[in-house]
Structure 1
Amino acid sequence: MLCSLCGTRPVGSADVRCAVCAGAADAGRGRAWAGSPGWAPASPRLDQLRSPVGLAKAVCVLLGAVAVADVLSIAAGVHSRMLLADGLDGGFLSVDEGAWTRADQLYRLAGLLQAYTLLATAVVFLVWMRRVRRNAEVFDPSAHSMRPGWAVGAWFVPIGVLWLPYRVASGVWAASVPVEGDGRRPAAPRGLLNAWWAALIVDKLLSQGAGRFYADAETGDEIVRGLDMVAVCDALDIGAAVLAILFVRRLTAMQSRRAHLGPVPAVPRPVQAH
């Protein structure tokens, strides 16, 4: 059984935490850090950390399922497009009605699979985000511009959803960077964080537009064009899912590493002259 805090080391004989995390919790309650004289805990609440490892694995599996559903949707859309395009040579009515009905049902079924996998992924992702946000509050309360509740609430704000969740994730990212031996935190590259968020927003906006175009299509040419647009968006969704997996894995690893380090030496503050 792994530690309930860091999720990386086996638990002790009489606790649900490993020896390192248990020592950090003791230090947070004012007791000495065993074997490290002169060291002070980075936060008096290290015993409040909860491992995000299990949730991260679940999120990654579900994101993989989303990508698989996107692939099936692309395949069903290509089949429908080919069937419809062949019939357009002699007019839309020349398409075999039974074949088109089956193709359309298959395409709709793929769409339902996409919706269900996306919903399940969103729920688990929000639980994971709430977990890492709470851990980040322990690591560094000053790294955040928004309160912990926004880790979930930001995703439900109309228009604000385009940037508020990124602000939350940015604070979590900054607070989760493992500290150096002197207690200072180096700057963390944000390329992966920015790429994930940009892909998510572009995919969201384009998918909404493509979905509306396909739903309103009436002629055969419009339906073919709509199928092409949706297929492109499905491909973008696969890319966004891959970046999301990398983001979840990286942030989870950062927090596991940060929890593994335990207490860090206090950084001396400059004395101001009176």
Structure 2
Amino acid sequence: MACAECEGAGDGKVSGEGRGGTAGDRCPACGDPAPPSAEPITPTAKGASAGQSWWVLTDGELRTVERIRRDQRESPYLRWQSTRPLATVTVALLGAVVASDLFAILAGARFAGILKEEAESSWYGSTEALESAESLYFAAGVVQFAVLATAGIPFLMWFHRSRLNAQTFDAASQRMRPGWAIGGWFVPVVNLWFPKKIANDIWDASTPPGPDGTVRERLPGGLLNCWWLLWLLTWASSRFASRRYGDAQTLEELGSAVSSHLFADGVDILAAVLAILVVRRITAMQHDLQEHRTALAAAPV
């Protein structure tokens, strides 16, 4: 059966209903699942592979879909847009997050060292040195928060735009609405898995074509999984360290709480580095796939 939106059929024929078909007769590239009457994709079909979990279009179908989208002049909100400028800013600010974490680790190590000396000493040393170390550690925490909040703005913009781009590639595979690409980070409890779920969908939809130009084998998601696990570990360890710091009554307890913060800062550095790799990888994948689609749309049938 032909797609009611692009009028393209897997067997190269065009249905007599054309664009007058029902809304449920559109192919995934146009926003809906494959029609129930469509033949399932098999490993022997052109452009398909064993275990393929989403619709794979032939070169001719991709050209048709891309030309229709171009002619319809879609809203800029839904049209594919480059995320390279946002990715560049995000990567730079994530690098600043790493630098602020290193500053906090240095300040925290100095503060923890003085606390240990004071706890082991039978007499109190210089109060001025202790207060100076604590002030520096507090300032490092303020810098950390400010840099992280600043980096979060372009990251969320990049994440949301990447989700919209993924919808232009494979709308049927997007399980969450675009608004959750931002809101999912701020809603308690669900923020522990909603962003990762959206990231998985973006990753799958942005997978570039294979060597034959049509088959899209799902790329391993180990990078996404490691980044998210480290992000969750950073969040949990930071909350644990903050609670210990607030409840500390002695110099030993205070020093132990600072050490917990040092661990959280170290994990955050790893999470930020992997976040940089995720941003760069998804951005490159989306540009590769878009260039392939554009080339197909411009090629003669």
How far residue 101 of structure 1 moved from its aligned partner, in angstroms, is: 1.1
Task: In structure 2, give the amino acid aligned to 1:50.
Answer: Q
Give the total of aligned pairs: 231
The match for 2:270 among 234, 239, 260 is 239
How far residue 45 of structure 1 moved from its aligned partner, in angstroms, is: 3.4
Q: Distance in 1 between matches of 2:167 and 2:62?
A: 21
Alignment of 1:36-185 (within 5 A): 40-43=63-66, 44-45=68-69, 48-91=79-122, 94-180=124-210, 181=212, 183-185=214-216
Contact 2:111 2:137 in 1 (8 A): yes
1:193-250 Cα offsets, whole Å, 9 max, x none, are: 1111111111111111111111221101101101111101100000000110011110
Contact 1:85 1:224 in 2 (8 A): yes
Contact 1:210 1:230 in 2 (8 A): yes
How far residue 263 of structure 1 moved from its aligned partner, in angstroms, is: 4.7
Query: Could you tell which deviates more after superposition, 209-218 or 58-67?
Result: 209-218
**Secondary structure at the counterpart of residue 63 of structure 2:** coil
Name 1:204's counterpart in structure 2.
Answer: 235
Task: In structure 1, give the amino acid aligned to 2:244.
Answer: F
Taking CA–CA contacts closer than 8 Å with sequence separation of 6 or more, which of the two structures ends up with the larger relative contact order?
Answer: 1
Name 2:247's counterpart in structure 1.
Answer: 216
1:169-188 Cα offsets, whole Å, 9 max, x none, are: 11110000012445332111
**Secondary structure at the counterpart of residue 233 of structure 2:** helix
Name 1:24's counterpart in structure 2.
Answer: none
Q: Distance in 2 between matches of 1:113 and 1:78?
A: 16
1:59-96 Cα offsets, whole Å, 9 max, x none, are: 111111011000010100111111111122235x6032
User: For the structure 1 residues 72 and 88, does the alpha-carbon distance in structure 2 shift closer, same or farther, using more than 3 Å as the test?
Assistant: same
TM-score, normalised to structure 2's length? 0.72
User: For the structure 1 residues 254 and 230, does the alpha-carbon distance in structure 2 shift closer, same or farther, using more than 3 Å as the test?
Assistant: same
**Secondary structure at the counterpart of residue 262 of structure 1:** helix
TM-score, normalised to structure 1's length? 0.79
Contact 1:42 1:263 in 2 (8 A): no
Contact 2:101 2:266 in 1 (8 A): yes
User: For the structure 1 residues 99 and 245, does the alpha-carbon distance in structure 2 shift closer, same or farther, using more than 3 Å as the test?
Assistant: same
How far residue 38 of structure 1 moved from its aligned partner, in angstroms, is: 8.1
Structure 2 residue 226 is the aligned partner of structure 1 residue 192: no
Q: Distance in 2 between matches of 1:234 and 1:220?
A: 21
Contact 1:136 1:172 in 2 (8 A): yes
**Secondary structure at the counterpart of residue 94 of structure 1:** coil
Task: In structure 1, give the amino acid aligned to 2:180.
Answer: W
Name 1:228's counterpart in structure 2.
Answer: 259
Contact 1:192 1:243 in 2 (8 A): yes
How far residue 148 of structure 1 moved from its aligned partner, in angstroms, is: 1.1
Alpha-carbon RMSD across the aligned residues, in angstroms, is 2.2
**Secondary structure at the counterpart of residue 118 of structure 2:** helix
How far residue 264 of structure 1 moved from its aligned partner, in angstroms, is: 7.9
Q: Distance in 1 between matches of 2:288 and 2:209?
A: 9
Please, which runs of 5 or more residues in structure 2 have no aligned partner?
1-29, 31-58
Query: Could you tell which deviates more after superposition, 223-232 or 175-184?
Result: 175-184
Please, which runs of 5 or more residues in structure 1 have no aligned partner?
1-27, 29-35, 267-274
Q: Distance in 1 between matches of 2:61 and 2:171?
A: 23
Q: Distance in 2 between matches of 1:89 and 1:210?
A: 22
User: For the structure 1 residues 41 and 59, does the alpha-carbon distance in structure 2 shift closer, same or farther, using more than 3 Å as the test?
Assistant: farther
Q: Distance in 2 between matches of 1:41 and 1:82?
A: 67
1:105-153 Cα offsets, whole Å, 9 max, x none, are: 1000000000000001111100000111111110110111111111111
Contact 1:45 1:138 in 2 (8 A): no
Q: Distance in 1 between matches of 2:236 and 2:114?
A: 28
Task: In structure 2, give the amino acid aligned to 1:201.
Answer: L
Contact 1:70 1:237 in 2 (8 A): yes
